[in-house]
């Protein structure tokens, strides 16, 4: 994916030039590949942002549900205390009822008024007892409903926690893969720099930009002015790079030609700076593939003409910087794309 992120738009311009040099079918294939890379980059960006947003939403929902659980738990404890109090009052009323029943039996032969009084007290006690029993049953029903609600909330909370854990695990794995890719590119940059040690500072630089290794070759090292015939010193540098590229088959290779903004006045069938930049790129590609074990599927040649300068000044020094060829090494992103597609 990263191989398509930064330079995919500019590659479209280079591919337009390739139409003049390669069959329409190959040109269409390159266009399709570029479009697919752009879609993969956008998908990676959207998926990564969606995962982060979903994480935040799940964290927020988890805090809300936990607060509800705490509130329900507190309410259940309060109702349990009330339940125990009513139970004790019911037991006390039952004892009182039993005492009055005994008293009734003891004085049944007493005065009629006393008997009626006792009957009224017994009836009142029975009514209070019935009210307490009804209240107790209602409280039991509400406690049961609360328990069902609490169980449902807890189940939802557990489900959301599992989902959050799964998404966190995928984010951690994605971060691990990206860090691993960065480590690979740092190691590759060192290997490339070691292989080209004798050329650094003499028209060649090696750097890491946006997760890719850039080998920048100045015109004075590679070509004579207006020519796409490679110089012997430049050829030597390219040949020293070949073993490193052979040992890293998971790295894709983009060769980009760049010119200054001075109109091309040369001959040999070249019309303009576009043609010159592409021819210089294909010259280096052929040298890389000649007699090597590098799979051509990994390699892309492109021309940028004058439209991606390092220095936009109109001075001779600025134009010299802009006349360059860049070999851009990009890691494959298959594992990361598979992880995102598994969502």
- Per-residue confidence (pLDDT) for residue 99, from 0 to 100: 84
- Per-residue confidence (pLDDT) for residue 22, from 0 to 100: 56
Q: Name 192's Cβ contacts closer than 8 Å, sequence gap at least 6.
A: 206, 213, 215, 241, 244, 329
Q: Give the pair of three-digit tokens for residue 57.
A: 């939403």
Q: Give the pair of three-digit tokens for residue 152.
A: 């449902």
Query: Mind listing the pLDDT tens digit for each residue in 270-328?
Result: 889 999 999 999 999 999 999 999 999 999 999 999 999 999 999 999 999 999 999 99
Average pLDDT for the chain: 82
- Per-residue confidence (pLDDT) for residue 225, from 0 to 100: 85
Q: Determine which of 27-36, 75-84, 192-201 has the lowest per-residue pLDDT on average.
A: 192-201
Q: Determine which of 36-50, 62-76, 163-177, 242-256 has the lowest per-residue pLDDT on average.
A: 163-177
Query: Mind listing the pLDDT tens digit for each residue in 64-103?
Result: 988 888 888 888 898 888 888 888 888 888 888 888 888 7
Q: What is the mean predicted confidence (pLDDT) over 159-167?
A: 78
- Per-residue confidence (pLDDT) for residue 2, from 0 to 100: 43
- Per-residue confidence (pLDDT) for residue 3, from 0 to 100: 45
Q: What is the mean predicted confidence (pLDDT) over 195-214?
A: 81
pLDDT-based confidence at residue 197 (cuts at 50, 70, 90): low
Are 325 and 204 contacting, i.e. CB atoms less than 8 angstroms apart? no
β-bridge mates for residue 252, sequence order: 330
CA dihedral of residues 285, 287, 288, 293 (deg, nearest 10): 120
- Per-residue confidence (pLDDT) for residue 319, from 0 to 100: 94
pLDDT-based confidence at residue 252 (cuts at 50, 70, 90): very high
Query: Mind listing the pLDDT tens digit for each residue in 105-134?
Result: 776 666 677 778 888 888 888 888 888 888
Q: What is the mean predicted confidence (pLDDT) over 165-184?
A: 71
Q: Determine which of 70-79, 165-174, 333-342 has the lowest per-residue pLDDT on average.
A: 333-342
- Per-residue confidence (pLDDT) for residue 57, from 0 to 100: 86
- Measure the CA–CA gap between 2 and 174, rounded to whole angstroms: 14
Are 22 and 302 contacting, i.e. CB atoms less than 8 angstroms apart? no
pTM: 0.50
CA distances from residue 14 to 101, 131, 332, 342 in whole angstroms, order as listed: 107, 90, 21, 34
Q: Give the pair of three-digit tokens for residue 326.
A: 């860049």
pLDDT-based confidence at residue 59 (cuts at 50, 70, 90): confident
- Per-residue confidence (pLDDT) for residue 239, from 0 to 100: 94
Does 335 score more than 80 pLDDT? no
Does 263 score more than 60 pLDDT? yes
The DSSP string of 156-214 is HHHHHHHHHHHHHHHHHHHHHHHHHHHHHHHHHHHHHHHHTTTTBTTTEEEEEETTEEE
Q: Determine which of 8-22, 252-266, 272-286 has the lowest per-residue pLDDT on average.
A: 8-22
DSSP E strands: which ranges in the chain?
A: 204-209, 212-218, 251-258, 299-303, 324-331
The SS3 call for residue 230 is strand
- Per-residue confidence (pLDDT) for residue 7, from 0 to 100: 44
Q: Give the pair of three-digit tokens for residue 22.
A: 């390669």
């Amino acid at each position: 994916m990263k191989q398509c992120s930064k330079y995919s738009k500019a590659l479209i311009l280079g591919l337009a030039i390739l139409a003049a040099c390669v069959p329409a079918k190959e040109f269409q294939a390159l266009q399709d590949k570029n479009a697919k890379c752009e879609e993969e980059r956008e998908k990676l960006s959207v998926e990564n942002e969606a995962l982060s947003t979903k994480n935040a939403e799940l964290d927020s929902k988890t805090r809300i549900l936990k607060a509800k659980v705490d509130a329900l738990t507190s309410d259940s404890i309060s109702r349990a205390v009330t339940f125990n109090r009513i139970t004790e009052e019911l037991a006390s009323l039952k004892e009182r009822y039993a005492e009055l029943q005994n008293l009734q039996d003891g004085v049944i032969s007493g005065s009629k008024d006393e008997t009626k009084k006792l009957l009224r007290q017994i009836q009142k006690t029975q009514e209070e007892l019935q009210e307490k029993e009804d209240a107790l049953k209602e409280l039991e029903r509400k406690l049961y409903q609360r328990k069902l609600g609490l169980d449902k909330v807890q189940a939802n909370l557990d489900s959301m926690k599992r989902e959050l854990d799964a998404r966190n695990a995928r984010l951690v794995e994605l971060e691990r893969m990206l860090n691993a890719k960065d480590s690979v590119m740092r190691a590759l940059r060192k290997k490339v720099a070691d292989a080209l040690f004798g050329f650094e500072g003499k028209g060649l630089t090696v750097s890491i930009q946006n997760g890719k290794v850039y080998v920048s070759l100045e015109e004075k090292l590679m070509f004579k002015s207006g020519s796409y015939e490679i110089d012997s010193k430049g050829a030597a540098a390219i040949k020293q790079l070949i073993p490193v590229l052979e040992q890293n088959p998971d790295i894709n290779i983009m060769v980009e030609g760049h010119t200054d903004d001075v109109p091309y006045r040369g001959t040999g069938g070249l019309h303009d700076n576009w043609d010159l930049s592409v021819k210089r790129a294909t010259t280096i590609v052929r040298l890389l593939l000649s007699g090597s074990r590098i799979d051509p599927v990994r390699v892309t040649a492109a021309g940028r003409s004058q439209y991606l300068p390092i220095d936009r000044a109109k001075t001779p020094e600025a134009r010299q910087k802009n006349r360059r060829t860049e070999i851009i090494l990009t890691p494959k992103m298959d594992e990361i794309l598979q992880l995102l597609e598994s969502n």
